[in-house]
Amino acid sequence: MKKVLLIFAVVLILVVMFSCTQISEMLSSKAKVSVVLTTGTEGEGDTTKPQEYSDVSTLGNFRNEAPWIKDIQKLEVKVSKFSYKYSTGPGEGKWATPTSVDQVIDLVSLDSTDISWLTFDIPKGAVIVALAFEVTQATVTINDQSYPVTIPSGKAKIVLKNMNWAINEDGEIALSIDWTRSIIKTGTDSYMLVPRIAYRWRGALKDLWAIEGRITHNGTAPTEPLLIGLYNGKDTTATPLVLKMIPVRREGNFYLGKHKPGEYTVVVWNNLTFTYEGTDVSFNATEATRTTFDHGKTNATTKLKLTY
């Protein structure tokens, strides 16, 4: 009898352990995805798809030169109603319920760090095919004076389509807002925001490390805005992975986001001028310095010291 009871107890323990394993597997069958906001222009690639929305054509004489961009101290916007469309099988696809996590962010502050917006769970194996969110309010501060910014009704809701991100692990969606080319001057004290967004899937987060540093000019902080670009490898004729402006108030400090270990090249430009060409904004600049370096080889974070 005791032998029977012993066998029964062992079987019961095995059943419980098997059940717990199944439950654990079920609980871990979802991936956590964080949405982070960053700035700059992300380069093109399999997981990066820049989106341009500027199609305003009647902006008068203010579309000739844009030196006022360098004087922007803050560009605060309200982002809300984030949602994503995902598929768990052939022919399927549905929008998740929009989140109620509203956040006011200063786009200029994204030059020095990423900001975490929200996190959601999604079944592992699901495919994200689209993103959507809204930019509903904006204010710009220039030379300590704040001005309301108009957002065209057709540009407030941003829908990013044609993705194909198979989610098999925890990761991040980086929404990169190129604020220097998103704000347009339409009058003496009038401004319009037409968001330019790029987006990137960041998987294998434990292998992504930050690249940051400081630029000096003759041993002191620069007294002019700079443009900085990050390239994969030594080829600087390709589309940069990151391209962003460094305002004077940053005193040469920069943050280029998190990237996989490897060889990269940084190029810095000065003598910036901003010119509107049709409906686009272009930068004219002079190369000030460049350096090629190994990232993630000995330290988790690469800190660069550049001078020109």
Q: Which residue has the higher pLDDT, 90 or 219?
A: 219
What's the burial of 83, exposed, middle or buried (CB within 10 Å: 0-12/13-18/19+)? middle
Question: 90-99, 103-112, 117-126, 236-245: which has the highest mean pLDDT?
Answer: 117-126
pLDDT in tens, 180-197: 778 888 888 888 888 888
Residue 275: closest CA among 64, 72, 71: 64
Res. 44 pLDDT band, cuts 50 70 90: very low
- pLDDT of 236 reads 92
- pLDDT of 206 reads 61
Are residues 79 and 35 in contact, defined by beta-carbon separation less than 8 angstroms?
no
Q: One-letter amino acid identity for 25?
A: E
Are residues 201 and 240 in contact, defined by beta-carbon separation less than 8 angstroms?
no
Rounded Cα distance between 77 and 57, Å, is: 23
Question: 21-35, 64-78, 113-127, 270-284: which has the highest mean pLDDT?
Answer: 113-127
pLDDT in tens, 134-176: 988 999 999 899 999 999 887 888 888 877 788 888 888 888 8
- pLDDT of 293 reads 96
- pLDDT of 62 reads 38
Q: Where in the chain are the domains?
A: 31-207, 209-308
Which segment of 75-79, 109-113, 174-178, 185-189 scores lowest on mean pLDDT? 109-113
Q: Percentage of residues in the chain with pLDDT exceeding 90?
A: 28
- pLDDT of 201 reads 81
- pLDDT of 228 reads 92
pLDDT in tens, 230-263: 999 999 988 888 888 888 888 999 999 888 889 9
Which segment of 11-25, 200-214, 234-248, 282-296 scores lowest on mean pLDDT? 11-25
- pLDDT of 190 reads 87
CATH number given to 209-308: 2.60.40.1120
Written as one string, the DSSP assignment of 81-120 is EEEEEEESSTT--EEPPPP---EEEEGGGGGT--EEEEEE
- pLDDT of 230 reads 93
Q: Give the C-alpha distances (Å, rounded to integers) separating 166 from 20, 40, 122, 305.
A: 27, 25, 11, 38
What's the burial of 290, exposed, middle or buried (CB within 10 Å: 0-12/13-18/19+)? middle
Res. 223 pLDDT band, cuts 50 70 90: very high
Written as one string, the DSSP assignment of 195-255 is --EEEEEE--GGG-EEEEEEEEBTTB--SS-EEEEEEETT--SSPPSEEEEE-GGGTTEEE
| Rounded mean pLDDT, 208-214 | 88
Q: Which residue has the higher pLDDT, 45 or 269?
A: 269
Residue 226: closest CA among 287, 184, 164: 287
Res. 56 pLDDT band, cuts 50 70 90: very low
Q: Give the C-alpha distances (Å, rounded to integers) separating 263 from 41, 244, 253.
A: 20, 20, 21
Which segment of 21-25, 70-74, 97-101 scores lowest on mean pLDDT? 21-25
- pLDDT of 67 reads 55
- pLDDT of 305 reads 96
Global pTM value:
0.63
Q: Which two tokens stand for residue 105?
A: 């962010």
